[in-house]
Structure 1
C-alpha cells in the first residue's frame, strides 16, 4: 500500500483563517490511497501583505507589537489602540519556508516583503523581508487545538477528507462548513508508536513529527 501523508506548510493567511497545504496518509483503518495536496481554511491574502511602517518600534512588527486588519494591508498600531487586532508572538527574518516554524497556536502568518519606503521604522529607508507569527487579540483563535485553522497542524486538531488524497483542517466542534473526520490525538517519533486505532498519519514536524489521527 502506498503511503499518504498530511503535511502543513507556512503560507500567507487571511485575518480570519489560515491556509495550509496538506496531503493525506491513510492508516490501518483508512480506505484506498491517493496523493496530492489540498488547501486548508478560507480565503488567503496575497503572498506578501502590504507593509506600512508606522514608527512604533525599532523593528516593524517586532515581538509583542500589534497590527490592525485593513483592506489595504496590515499596519502596525499601538496595542492599546481600538484598531489593534493581533499581536506578534514571534518575528523572524527572511522567507518563512527557510526559517523557524511559528509557535503551535499561531493564528496566522504575516509575510513582510522587502520595501524601501520614504519613511520606515529606523530611518534607513528599508524594511527587510521577514515574517511575523500573529495571535488574534480576541477569539476565535483558529490556531488553537481543534480551532480549524492556523499555519500548523497540532495535537488536538481535526481534519477531513477533501477527495483525491487531500485533507483539510476542520473545526472539531463541527461549526465549520464541513464536518471533521479525523482527530490528531498524539504526536510520536515514528508511525509504529501510534495506537492501533490510528486512521491517518499527519506530518507535524518538530521532535515528534508524526501525528496519530483517529477516525471520529
Structure 2
C-alpha cells in the first residue's frame, strides 16, 4: 500500500560551479548539458523505483495466552486462502500461517484442511492489556495488525478476532481451564485459572469491581491488583 503522505524526493543538487573563464565559453555549455542529463537520470530512477515505498500488509498474531488446537495448514489446498485482509467478519475461519511462524494466522475457507478456528466475535484493537473481553467459549484471541514494508515487525493493531476451535478441544469453555476468565471457571487461591477438575480450586461466581457487588454464595472474594483496562477488580469465588 503506497503511503499517501510520502514526501517527494529532494531536487537533484547541482555540482559546484567552477570559476568562469572568459576565454572559453564551451565549458559553460558542457556543464548545462551535464546538468540536464543528470536531472533526467535522477527523475527516471525515482519514478522507476518502488522499493522505498511502504507496502501495506496485514498480519494476524495470536495473543500469548492463546493455545489453539491447530493442525498443519495446507498451502496447496485449493480451498486455502492467502488473503491477508484485516477485514475479518464473524463466521470467518482461519488457521496457522506457514509464512509467519509460530504465532501467525491467516484467513482460510472453513472447508480448508488448514482451517482450525472460526471467528465468533470481532473486537476493536486496544493497547491496554486485559481490556478486550471476548465472549465465553473463546479458545484463542488473535490480534490483527497492518504492517508496512517488507520487515516482519509488529504493525498497527486494527482489531482482535475471538476464535473458537473447529475441533472438539475447547479450553475456553467455562471450567476447562483456558481462554479468558469467565463466570463458571475455577481459580487457585492465587487467582490463577485452572480446570475445575483440579483439587482445591475455587469456583468463580462473578467478576465485579468491588466486594459488595459479589453475588450470594461468595465465600472467597479475591481482590486483584489494579490493572488499567480490566473490567473487574474482584473475583467472587466459592470453595
What TM-score comes out, normalization by structure 2 length? Answer: 0.51
Larger relative CO (CA 8 A, sep 6+): 1 or 2? 1
* Residue 214 in structure 1 maps to residue 234 in structure 2: no
* Residue 148 in structure 1 maps to residue 186 in structure 2: no
For 1:186 and 1:101, the matched residues in 2 are separated by 15
Pairwise CA distance, 1:96? 5.7
Question: Which residue of structure 1 aligns with residue 143 of structure 2?
Answer: 111
* Residue 192 in structure 1 maps to residue 221 in structure 2: no
Question: Which residue of structure 2 aligns with residue 62 of structure 1?
Answer: 89
For 1:202 and 1:54, the matched residues in 2 are separated by 45
Question: Which residue of structure 1 aligns with residue 113 of structure 2?
Answer: 82
SS class of match (1:115): strand
For 1:104 and 1:173, the matched residues in 2 are separated by 19
What TM-score comes out, normalization by structure 1 length? Answer: 0.56
Q: Which has the higher strand share?
A: 1
For 2:184 and 2:137, the matched residues in 1 are separated by 11
Gaps of 5+ in 2: 1-61, 70-80, 225-229
For 1:211 and 1:88, the matched residues in 2 are separated by 27
Question: Which residue of structure 2 aligns with residue 16 of structure 1?
Answer: 68
**Deviations 1:140-189, CA, capped at 9 Å, x for gaps:** 21111101011x2111100113xxxx431101123xxxx45211134567
Aligned runs of 1:20-39 on 2, under 5 Å? none
Aligned runs of 1:89-168 on 2, under 5 Å? 89-95=120-126, 97=128, 100-116=132-148, 129-150=158-179, 152-161=180-189, 166-168=190-192
2:221–2:234 CA contact under 8 A, matched in 1:
no
Pairwise CA distance, 1:116? 3.5
1:12–1:110 CA contact under 8 A, matched in 2:
no
SS class of match (2:167): coil
Please, what is the CA RMSD of the aligned residues?
A: 3.6
Pairwise CA distance, 1:13? 3.0
Pairwise CA distance, 1:68? 1.0
Count of equivalent residues? 153
Q: Which has the higher helix share?
A: 2
Question: Which residue of structure 1 aligns with residue 20 of structure 2?
Answer: none
2:141–2:163 CA contact under 8 A, matched in 1:
yes
For 1:111 and 1:133, the matched residues in 2 are separated by 9
Pairwise CA distance, 1:214? 0.9
